[in-house]
Structure 1
Amino acid sequence: MGAMDELINPTVVDNLASIMRDHGRVDTTALLATAETLSGRRLRARVDTVRAGILATLPSSYRGTVALTDAMFEDSRLDGWMIWPLSEALVHRALDGSTTVAFDDVHRVLAKLTTRLSGEFAIRDLLIADHRRSLAIIGEWTGSPDDHVRRLASEGTRPRLPWAKQVPALIAAPGVTRSILDKLVADPSEYVRRSVGNHLNDISRDHPDTATAIAADWTAEHCATPTVRRGLRTLIKRGDLDALTLLGFSTTKLGLEPPALHADHVHIGETLPYTVTVQNLGDSDANVVIDVVLTSPTATGGSTEKVFKLARRLIPGNGTVTVSGKRSFTPLSTRTIRAGRHSLTTQANGQRSAPTFFDVNA
C-alpha cells in the first residue's frame, strides 16, 4: 500500500467516532468496526468502507443527519481526511430522501465542510443525479468570500477530475460550466485560478476547439496567461497549432535531431541522461517549447507514449539550441517500468524528430 492509502486509517476512524459520540446519541460500533478492515485496501476502497460505517451510525433521516453534522462542525477536531467519507455519506443520505429540499441543503453543508477538506468528490453524486439543478447552486459559490468554496465551484465540476466519479454530462457538454469558469478565471486567489486552469485542461482532452476558444476569450479579456498556459498544457504537448499560436509559440519549420543518449541501455532504477538539438530554419526569432517523447512497451505487447516537458527557448533566426535532460527509470506507485525496447523522440512546437532507441534491462 502507498502513503496515499494511509490517509484513511484506524486513527482517523477512531477520532471521527469520538466526535460523533460527543455531539449525538449514536452507536458507533459499526463505524469503529471498519477500522479493523482497512489494512491492505486502497484509498478509494477505504473511503467506501468508512462511508458505509458512517451511514450505519448517522440518524436515519436527512434532517437528523444534518443536525448532527452541524453540531460536529463546531468541534475543531472535525478536520482533515475524515471529512471525505463523511461528506459522501451526507450526500448519500440526501439523495436517499429524494427531496429537492435535501438535495439543495446538502450543497450548503458541503460548502461548509469544504473549508476543512474539499468536497470535490462528494459533490459528484449530486451532479450525476441532477447536474442542472446542482450547477445552479454551485454557480452561486463563485461569489463566496471563502477561496475554498470558490475553488470547489471549479474543482468539483471538472469534467475529468482525478480519483472522482465521471459525470457524463460534464464531458459531453463543456459549455455547462463556462459561466463558473468565466467568473473565476481572474480570481484573486492563485489556489482558485490553478483549479480553473486544470478545469480548462480537462475540457481540452475531449473538446480541443472549445478549450482554445475559451482560452482566446480569456486572453483578450483578462490577460490570464498563467491560467491559460495551465489549461492548454495537454494541447501544447499534442502540438495543437491553435494552442501553440495562442501562447505565442512559433509555427516556423524547425530542424530536430534525434536525442543523443549517454548510453544505449539502462537498468530499471537508473537514470538516462540525454541531449536534444533544435534548429530554427527560419530567418526570424522562434519561441519554442521543447519536449521529449518516451515510448515504452506495454504488458500486452503494444506501446505507449508520454510527453515530458524539457525547456522553453527563444531561438534566433537560423540559430541552434542544445538542451540537456535526464529520464528516470525508477518505479513509482504511479509508474510501472517494464524491461524492453524503448525510444526517446525530440518534440518542439508539435514537430518531431526521428526516435532514438535504447533498451531498459531488469
Structure 2
Amino acid sequence: MLATYILGKLATNNPSALKILKTKVSKDENWRVQEMLAKAFDNYCMTLGYENSLVTIEKWLTDKNPNVKRAVVEGLRIWTNRPYFKENPTKAIALISRHKADDSEYLRMSVGNALRDISKKYSELIANEMATWDLQNPKIKFTYKFVTKNG
C-alpha cells in the first residue's frame, strides 16, 4: 500500500507511474488498496496542482473501471477544501454528480458521501443540483439517499 502512495508522488513526473495506478492498481480487489489508490491520486493532484490536474481528473472520471472513477471522487474528498475547488465548488459538484447514476453501487456511494460533505458548506448549491435529479431512477435515488443521510 505504501507503494501506491509512492506511485502517486512519482506520477507527477513519470506518466508510466500514473498509468500503473490506473491500469493495474485499480484492478486490485482489496478495498485497502483502493483507498490507497484514492490517496495516491489526491497526492498526484496536490503535487501537480488541482487546477493543473483537471485534464487527468476528467480522463479518470470517464474511465470504464468504477475503481478509477471512485479514486477521483474519494481521493479528492473533501473537494471544496482543496485549492481550486474551494474557489470553484460548482465545478466540483458537476464533476462528482456525473456519476450519480453509475452502474457501480460502490461509486454511487462515494458520490453521495462526497456531495454530502460539500453540502455542509454549500447546502444551497447541492440542493440546486439535486433538484435537477430524476428520483424515479433507482440508481439516482440511491445516491440521493446518501447525500441527504444524516451523520
From 122, 132, 135, give the equivalent of 2:40: 122
1:108 aligns with 2:27: no
Distance in structure 2 (CA, Å) of the matches to 1:204 and 1:125 = 24
CA contact (8 A) 1:127 1:167 kept: no
Q: Please, which runs of 5 or more residues in structure 1 have no aligned partner?
A: 1-82, 161-165, 235-306, 308-362
- Counterpart position of 1:184: 99
Bigger radius of gyration among the two: 1
CA contact (8 A) 1:124 1:167 kept: no
Deviation at 1:222, TM superposition (A): 5.0
Q: Which has the higher relative contact order, 1 or 2, with Cα contacts under 8 A spaced 6 or more apart?
A: 2
Deviation at 1:195, TM superposition (A): 0.8
From 154, 167, 173, give the equivalent of 2:73: 154
Deviation at 1:172, TM superposition (A): 4.0
From 77, 90, 93, give the equivalent of 2:10: 93
- Quick one: which amino acid aligns to residue 210 of structure 1? L
Distance in structure 1 (CA, Å) of the matches to 2:144 and 2:71 = 19
Q: TM-score, normalised to structure 2's length?
A: 0.76
Question: How large is the Cα RMSD of the aligned pairs?
Answer: 2.7
Distance in structure 1 (CA, Å) of the matches to 2:43 and 2:85 = 13
> 1:174-206: CA deviations, max 9, x gaps?
223334323311101111111110111111111
* Structure in which a larger fraction of residues adopt helix: 2
Query: % of aligned pairs identical?
Result: 23
From 117, 124, 137, give the equivalent of 2:56: 137
Deviation at 1:86, TM superposition (A): 0.7
- Counterpart position of 1:233: 149
Deviation at 1:121, TM superposition (A): 1.0
CA contact (8 A) 2:26 2:67 kept: yes
CA contact (8 A) 1:139 1:153 kept: no
Deviation at 1:115, TM superposition (A): 2.2
Q: Please, which runs of 5 or more residues in structure 2 have no aligned partner?
A: none
CA contact (8 A) 1:158 1:170 kept: no
Show the 5 A alignment for 1:9-88: 83=1, 85-88=2-5
Distance in structure 2 (CA, Å) of the matches to 1:230 and 1:150 = 18
Q: 1:194 to 1:207 in 2, by over 3 A?
A: same
SS of the residue corresponding to residue 168 of structure 1 reads: coil
CA contact (8 A) 2:8 2:41 kept: yes
> 1:78-108: CA deviations, max 9, x gaps?
xxxxx2x11111222344xxx4xx2x54432
Q: 1:152 to 1:94 in 2, by over 3 A?
A: closer
CA contact (8 A) 2:93 2:115 kept: no
> 1:205-243: CA deviations, max 9, x gaps?
111111111111224695622211211224xxxxxxxxx
- Quick one: which amino acid aligns to residue 109 of structure 1? I
Distance in structure 1 (CA, Å) of the matches to 2:17 and 2:90 = 25
Q: 1:177 to 1:221 in 2, by over 3 A?
A: farther
> 1:240-291: CA deviations, max 9, x gaps?
xxxxxxxxxxxxxxxxxxxxxxxxxxxxxxxxxxxxxxxxxxxxxxxxxxxx
- Quick one: which amino acid aligns to residue 169 of structure 1? Y
CA contact (8 A) 1:124 1:157 kept: yes
Show the 5 A alignment for 1:315-326: none
- Quick one: which amino acid aligns to residue 92 of structure 2? T
Q: 1:148 to 1:204 in 2, by over 3 A?
A: same
From 170, 174, 178, give the equivalent of 2:89: 174
Distance in structure 1 (CA, Å) of the matches to 2:52 and 2:145 = 31
